[in-house]
Amino acid sequence: MTHPLGNPPSKIIAVHLNYLSRAKERGRVPAQPSYFLKPPSSLAGTQEAIVRPADCELLGFEGEIALVIGSRAQRVAPEDGWSHVRWVTAANDAGVYDLRYADRGSNLRSKGADGFTPIGPRLLDARRLDQDALRLRTWVNGDLVQDDTTDTLLFPFGQLIADLSRLVTLEPGDVILTGTPAGASVVRPGDVVEVEVTGGELSTGRLRNPIAKGDALAPYGATPRTDAADREAAYGAAYEPEPVLDPRLADGLRSVAVATLSAQLRGRGLPHMSVDGVRPVTSMAGNLVGVAHTLRYLPLREDLFTKYGTGMNAQKRAIEELRPGHILVMDARRDATAGTLGDILALRAMRRGAAGVVTDGAVRDSAAIAGMGMPVYAAGSHPSVLGRRHVPWDTGTPVACGGALVQPGDLLVGDDDGVVVVPPDLADDLVADCQEQERQERFIAEQVAAGESVDSLYPLGPAWRDAYENWCKGESQ
């Protein structure tokens, strides 16, 4: 395989997350960069096919800016890191998600196959470029799918080189793949991926690689497999899983008032189904209908917070487990003196298709959350971050939210009056009875407006039954 470097580098180092847009897509913003290695044998040039094994489904593309080291870098400072870069070019950090499980974290087999790191076609002189003013664009079949600039990087190029060189000597010719922006997704045989890096009037030209179908992998070793999580990670923002709630039932629940649902639940011997103490944060409150996905917080214990509260903790896992139609229900022990959700995680929940959020704790960034267009209910607002009062403990278990017992899979409905929990096995009958109750109440309201007494009218008594049935016939015409 040919590529513009000539001699192979001693190593190819790739950054996991480095663009803010991609971090928001993934729902997490790393505090420090993290890396994985790709073998030099994965290098390829423009016009060379990226071959997807026949038994793999999820070949992902990732347009990236590649840095080529020009002088040996060992324990350099961040402000000196860029001076060790000789060339800049375009790259495609390709990989098959079907094998991610086999080398979790290292990505060796999923991203290290021959031809999975095409770069080029031209090398740009780093001395003529402003590292903070580069533009990266990717096209699939001629459609622009990625477009971002290096002024949005989480970790500038100089910082990456300094960080790596603390422990790993970077040799001339080494390649650093600096991360991909939002928009990376899946391609199939027959597709064509193009990547270009520009800086002012300078351009790498388009790195163009068709996608081809290869033979199936030999049966020894790890074999390809995928699940819903792999598909979601591979497709990114383009992933559209099936909703967890039947749209017909959702429309039925949305058509009736929470007060009516509460009355009907009470009539069935369920008087404790309201989530008390929460109020709408957003004007979208009347659209809250969905399936509960639960998150439980426990009281802060400082010696346990590092173990349970940092990294990919239960709070972040709960967000990443959401599917379209889910409502994230947080049990914060009715303690509104600390935030349980901020704008970044709320945005991630919305991007994952969440139908809303209900917490009996507080939210922070309330103004930003209010403007997102996703129904959110909370017990209040508070500026604090997570570690003030709460430890995120577990997800997918029964919780107490606002005094109501909520099980995963329960239905929740909210409007300006508040939120109620609806057992899913009662939902269809409840909708029918609520619609009938509200029909009766429209009739009663008309009579009261006309001057009638509520005696024997509200609730509807036998004396008014014939009049009501005649009224219903007229309403249905």
Question: How many of the other CB atoms lie within 10 Å of CB of 171?
Answer: 14
CA 331 – CA 337 distance, rounded (Å): 14
Rounded-to-integer distance, Cα 153 and Cα 458, Å: 64
Query: What pairs with residue 177 in β-bridges?
Result: 14, 66
The whole-angstrom distance between residue 358's C-alpha and the CA centroid of its chain comes to 18
8 Å CB contact between 55 and 224: yes
Q: Is the dihedral of CA 433, 435, 436, 442 positive or negative?
A: positive
Assign 266 to helix, strand or coil.
helix
**Residue 381 CB neighbour total at 10 angstroms:** 16
| pLDDT in single tens digits along all 477 residues of the chain | 578 888 899 999 999 999 998 988 777 788 899 999 999 999 999 999 999 999 999 999 999 999 999 999 999 999 999 999 999 999 999 999 999 988 877 899 999 999 999 999 999 999 999 999 999 999 999 999 999 999 999 999 999 999 999 999 999 999 999 999 999 999 999 999 999 999 999 999 999 999 999 999 998 899 999 877 788 788 876 655 667 889 999 999 999 999 999 999 999 999 999 999 999 998 876 689 999 999 999 999 999 888 888 888 889 989 988 888 999 999 999 999 999 999 999 999 998 889 999 999 999 999 999 998 899 999 999 998 777 899 999 998 999 999 999 999 999 999 999 999 999 999 999 999 999 999 999 999 999 999 999 999 998 999 999 999 999 988 765
Tokens linked to 28: 């997490």
Architecture of domain 247-422 in this structure: 3-Layer(bba) Sandwich (3.50)
Query: Side chain identity at 125, as an amino acid letter?
Result: D
Strands 288-299 and 326-331 turn out to be parallel
Say whether 362 sits in a helix, a strand or coil: strand
Q: How many of the other CB atoms lie within 10 Å of CB of 245?
A: 20
**How far is Cα 292 from Cα 405, in angstroms, rounded to an integer?**
11
pTM to 2 decimals?
Answer: 0.58
Rounded to whole angstroms, how far apart are CA atoms 168 and 84?
A: 14
Among residues 138, 143, 50, the alpha carbon closest in space to that of 96 is found at 50
What is 12-238's CATH topology? Fumarylacetoacetate hydrolase; domain 2 (3.90.850)
Residues composing the chain: 477
Q: Which segments of the chain belong to CATH 3.50.30.40?
A: 247-422
What 3-state DSSP class applies to 225? coil
Beta-strand relationship, 207-213 and 50-52 = parallel
Residue 297: partners with Cβ closer than 8 Å, 6 or more residues away: 330, 331, 332, 333, 340, 361, 390, 391, 392, 393
As annotated, the residues of the chain forming the CATH 3.90.850.10 domain(s) are: 12-238
